[in-house]
């Protein structure tokens, strides 16, 4: 074989469909389109089997097949002859291929119905370039996916320098908020990715919540995804990275938030849904789990309108960054920040500006807080906000410490790994986005002051 | 054999793949410009690019067995036609006009899935052969549990 299979790596991303021809023993050919061929090594590929179809029956009789692979950018084609070897029904390869199917199933409401039956392994017998399939174009090669600009001139040294810069920014971050910012800024700047978000994992609720993002405008913080839901949820559950090159209309993972918990037994867990910040027209996505010491910390999700934005190179490179970030996040979450010994109340309480008013409403059913009728936040950050708002409005105080929040049994923070800092970051961001005239301002280590330019009124309502 | 609705779908400018096989039952796969449903609704003509389809044309000369699958990429609606070739000839002007129309439809399909026009317009489909075959069976091929179900079989 003069062409190496690895040279066709881009053809395996599923952007343009691959044709597969088989033949029954009575000599009748069959042809269909595949959405995904997985490269295994120079001599093997794997095809996913979801249904026992004619292709599968033909292969059982006559194990040779021909596939037509096209480059997703240039459309140059290769004819590849393969021979079926065996099927795998479990193991790492099966799990990896099943993850892609599970994501599609989750998005289309077919979980448990549409699933991987087997990962079918084929030996590659022949690779033949198809001459004449596309008209010559001298500039075509230049348009092939190239490494990001930051790395082009510098080669491998450039890659190392970029990794070093990213690593430095992550390790220098003195708090969780700066760390997440460093991760998102580095990712978007160095890899020329415009859309990125970090979701942290709330172990007690088995859900992920968006702590910060880039490229989605305001309003994305707090958006939630359940474990196993959509692309992000599937990556979180499997703890394996996943790259989707042809997102398509049925694979828009950003809208995978389900409408509460169904079934009468869990009706009390029903809660409002918040839209996830996702591109409605994303063409490629790369989602990396943030795992530290075998524990899921969160997820780094990137997306692009370019169907070939992410390659194996991005996946490998960013996985290194994600692993380092995960360890740093876990360390910051686990260490309880030392508090400044100075007593509270040294900062000055601001007076509201004349005529400005804000009405906050608390819904105890799901601990949701609304401001002027608009959803603001819920769950634990909702309870924290409601506590500090009540004490602020009653005139008792305007400064609060992390320690006292931890000691307040009514808030119900878990005794271990309470992730208080990430809840406070989320709360601060939601206020910045939805109600900027009410602010949480750090006054010293482990303490913050509530500031308001408006006169606040509070009410509680039993009806959601 | 092929009703009007199905004929309209098949001739709407779709992704078109053709399978043949040689004497040893080794299959071959190639893309084609599209199919024209003939007036008798029992025959179809597929347009095969001369250069890239040499093996396919050789296989057809040997045994005449052909399968043609057409897919509308935006919704994956897919139909497969199977049959036996009755005529192979160089494309006439009328054939080229049909092939050009089908090819333009296919170009739109792949642009829909993200291929840039500067590349989709480079796809070659001429010069081509017109391969007419008697449609012996029509199969549902849309991905899913019904894929492979026979919709119609010639008497």
Asked if A53 and B28 come within 8 Å (Cβ–Cβ), the reply is: no
Question: Which chain A residues in 123-182 lie under 8 Å from chain B, judged by CB atoms?
Answer: 130-135, 137, 140, 143
- Helix-helix angle A420-434:A176-190, to 10 degrees: 70
Asked if B120 and A75 come within 8 Å (Cβ–Cβ), the reply is: yes
Q: For residue A267, is pLDDT > 80?
A: no
Let me know: does B103 contact B123? Beta carbons within 8 Å. yes
* Domain range enclosing A224: 145-334
Which pLDDT belongs to residue A80? Answer: 95
Reference A133, options B14, B33, B104, B131; nearest CA is B33
Quick one: tokens of A252? 């828009």
Residue A312 lies in a domain: yes
Closest-CA distance of chain A to residue B39, Å: 25
The dihedral through the CA atoms of A129, A130, A131, A135 has a sign that is: negative
Q: For residue A148, is pLDDT > 60?
A: no
Asked if B82 and A28 come within 8 Å (Cβ–Cβ), the reply is: yes
Mean pLDDT within A24-53? 89
Strand-pair partners of A74: none
- Same structural domain, A162 and A113: no
Quick one: tokens of A19? 């044709």
User: What's the rounded Cα separation, in Å, for the pair A179 and A327?
Assistant: 11
Q: For residue A71, is pLDDT > 90?
A: no
Beta strands in A227-276 (DSSP E): 242-244
* Average pLDDT score, chain B: 92
* A4-34 tens-digit pLDDT: 998 888 788 766 778 999 999 999 999 998 8
- Same structural domain, A164 and A24: no
User: What's the rounded Cα separation, in Å, for the pair B62 and B22?
Assistant: 7
Residue B151 contacts A where some CB pair is shorter than 8 Å: no
- Helix-helix angle A312-334:A176-190, to 10 degrees: 170
**Cα–Cα distances in angstroms (integers) from residue A302 to residues A72, A154, A245, A289, in the given order:** 20, 24, 12, 12
Asked if A21 and B29 come within 8 Å (Cβ–Cβ), the reply is: yes
Residue A345 lies in a domain: no
DSSP character at residue A351: P
Entry pTM: 0.69
Of chain A, the percentage scoring pLDDT greater than 70 comes to 77
User: What's the rounded Cα separation, in Å, for the pair B90 and B128?
Assistant: 7
Residue A185 lies in a domain: yes
Closest residue in B to A20 (Cα–Cα) = B29
Closest residue in A to B125 (Cα–Cα) = A133
* A268-322 tens-digit pLDDT: 432 333 344 466 677 788 889 999 988 899 999 998 887 777 877 788 888 888 8
Asked if B114 and A28 come within 8 Å (Cβ–Cβ), the reply is: no
Beta strands in A50-156 (DSSP E): 64-70, 77-88, 118-129
Closest-CA distance of chain B to residue A376, Å: 37
- Same structural domain, A160 and A80: no
| pLDDT band for position B121 (cuts 50, 70, 90) | confident
Residue A68: which CATH number? 2.30.110.10
- Same structural domain, A96 and A215: no
Question: Which chain A residues in 234-253 lie under 8 Å from chain B, judged by CB atoms?
Answer: 246, 248
Closest-CA distance of chain A to residue B78, Å: 9
ipTM exceeding 0.85? yes
Residue B128: HSE in the Cβ half-sphere, 13 Å Cα cutoff = 29
* A193-223 tens-digit pLDDT: 888 999 989 887 788 888 888 887 766 677 7
User: What's the rounded Cα separation, in Å, for the pair A152 and A123?
Assistant: 35
Asked if B26 and A64 come within 8 Å (Cβ–Cβ), the reply is: yes
Answer yes or no: CATH 2.30.110.10 is held by domain B4-138.
yes
Residue A454: which CATH number? 1.10.10.10
Which pLDDT belongs to residue A246? Answer: 63
Is residue A188 classed as helix, strand or coil in its secondary structure?
Answer: helix
Q: Of A275, A302, A334, which one is at a domain's C-terminal end?
A: A334
Residue A352 lies in a domain: no
- Going across the sheet that includes A29-34, the strands are A29-34, A18-23, A64-70, A77-88, A118-129, A44-49, A37-41
Residue B65: HSE in the Cβ half-sphere, 13 Å Cα cutoff = 22
Closest-CA distance of chain B to residue A240, Å: 26
Which pLDDT belongs to residue B77? Answer: 84
Q: For residue B3, is pLDDT > 60?
A: yes
Residue A136 lies in a domain: no
Domains of chain B: which residue ranges? 4-138
The number of distinct structural domains making up chain A is: 3
Tokens 């694979």 — which residue? A251
Mutate to test the interface with B, among A21, A81, A104 (most CBs of B within 10 A): A21
Residue A139 lies in a domain: no
Let me know: does B125 contact B60? Beta carbons within 8 Å. no
Residue A91 lies in a domain: yes
| pLDDT band for position A125 (cuts 50, 70, 90) | very high
* Average pLDDT score, chain A: 79
* A79-120 tens-digit pLDDT: 999 999 999 999 999 998 888 777 776 666 666 666 788 999
Residue A112 lies in a domain: yes
Which pLDDT belongs to residue B16? Answer: 95
Quick one: tokens of A332? 């910051």
Residue B143 contacts A where some CB pair is shorter than 8 Å: yes
**Cα–Cα distances in angstroms (integers) from residue A379 to residues A1, A78, A219, A372, in the given order:** 60, 54, 17, 19
């Amino acid at each position: 074989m003069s062409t190496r299979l690895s040279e066709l790596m881009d053809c395996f991303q599923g952007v343009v469909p691959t044709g597969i021809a088989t033949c029954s023993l009575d000599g009748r050919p069959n042809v269909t389109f595949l959405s995904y061929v997985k490269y295994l090594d120079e001599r093997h590929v794997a095809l996913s089997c979801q249904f026992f179809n004619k292709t599968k029956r033909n292969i059982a009789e006559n194990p040779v097949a021909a596939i037509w692979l096209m480059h997703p950018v240039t459309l140059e084609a290769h004819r590849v002859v393969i021979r079926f070897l065996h099927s795998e029904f479990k193991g790492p390869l099966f799990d990896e291929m099943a993850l892609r199917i599970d994501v599609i199933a989750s998005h289309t409401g077919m979980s448990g119905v549409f699933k991987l039956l087997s990962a079918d392994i084929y030996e590659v017998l022949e690779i033949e370039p198809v001459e004449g399939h596309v008209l010559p174009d001298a500039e075509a090669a230049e348009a092939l996916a190239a490494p990001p600009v930051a790395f082009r001139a510098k080669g491998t040294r450039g890659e190392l320098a970029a990794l070093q810069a990213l690593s430095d920014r992550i390790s220098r971050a003195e708090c969780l908020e700066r760390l997440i910012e460093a991760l998102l800024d580095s990712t978007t700047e160095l890899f020329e990715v415009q859309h990125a978000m970090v979701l942290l994992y709330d172990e007690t609720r088995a859900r992920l919540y968006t702590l910060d993002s880039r490229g989605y405008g305001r309003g994305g913080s707090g958006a939630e995804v359940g474990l196993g839901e959509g692309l992000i949820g599937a990556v979180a559950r499997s703890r394996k990275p996943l790259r989707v090159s042809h997102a398509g209309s049925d694979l828009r993972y950003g809208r995978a938030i389900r409408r509460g918990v169904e079934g009468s037994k869990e009706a009390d867990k029903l809660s409002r849904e918040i839209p996830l910040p996702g591109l409605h027209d994303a063409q490629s996505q790369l989602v990396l789990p943030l795992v530290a010491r075998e524990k899921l910390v969160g997820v780094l999700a990137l997306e692009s309108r370019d169907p070939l934005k992410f390659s194996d190179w991005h996946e490998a490179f960013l996985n290194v960054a994600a692993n380092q970030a995960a360890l740093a996040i876990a360390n910051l979450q686990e260490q309880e920040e030392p508090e400044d010994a100075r007593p509270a109340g040294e900062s000055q309480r601001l007076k509201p500006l004349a005529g400005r008013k804000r009405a906050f409403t608390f819904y105890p059913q799901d601990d949701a807080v609304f401001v002027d009728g608009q959803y603001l936040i819920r769950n634990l950050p909702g309870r924290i906000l409601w506590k500090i708002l009540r004490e602020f409005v009653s005139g008792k105080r305007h400064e609060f410490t992390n320690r006292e929040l931890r000691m307040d049994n009514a808030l119900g923070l878990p005794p271990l790994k309470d992730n208080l800092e990430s809840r406070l970051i989320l709360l601060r961001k939601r206020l910045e986005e939805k109600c900027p005239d009410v602010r949480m301002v750090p006054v010293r280590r482990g303490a913050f002051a509530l500031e308001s330019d408006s006169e606040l009124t509070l009410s509680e309502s039993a009806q959601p | 054999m092929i009703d009007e609705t199905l004929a309209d779908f098949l001739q709407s400018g779709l992704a078109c793949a053709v399978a043949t096989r040689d004497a040893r039952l080794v299959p071959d796969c190639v893309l084609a410009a599209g199919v024209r449903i003939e007036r008798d609704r029992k025959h179809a003509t597929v347009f095969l690019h001369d250069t890239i389809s040499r093996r396919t044309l050789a296989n057809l000369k040997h045994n005449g067995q052909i399968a043609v699958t057409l897919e509308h990429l935006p919704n994956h609606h897919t139909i497969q036609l199977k049959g036996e070739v009755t005529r192979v000839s160089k494309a006439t002007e009328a054939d080229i006009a049909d092939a050009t129309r089908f090819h333009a439809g296919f170009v739109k399909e792949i642009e829909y899935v993200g291929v840039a026009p500067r590349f989709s317009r480079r796809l070659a489909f001429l010069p081509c052969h017109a391969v007419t075959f008697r449609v012996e069976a029509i199969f549902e091929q849309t991905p899913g549990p019904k894929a492979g179900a026979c919709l119609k079989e010639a008497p």
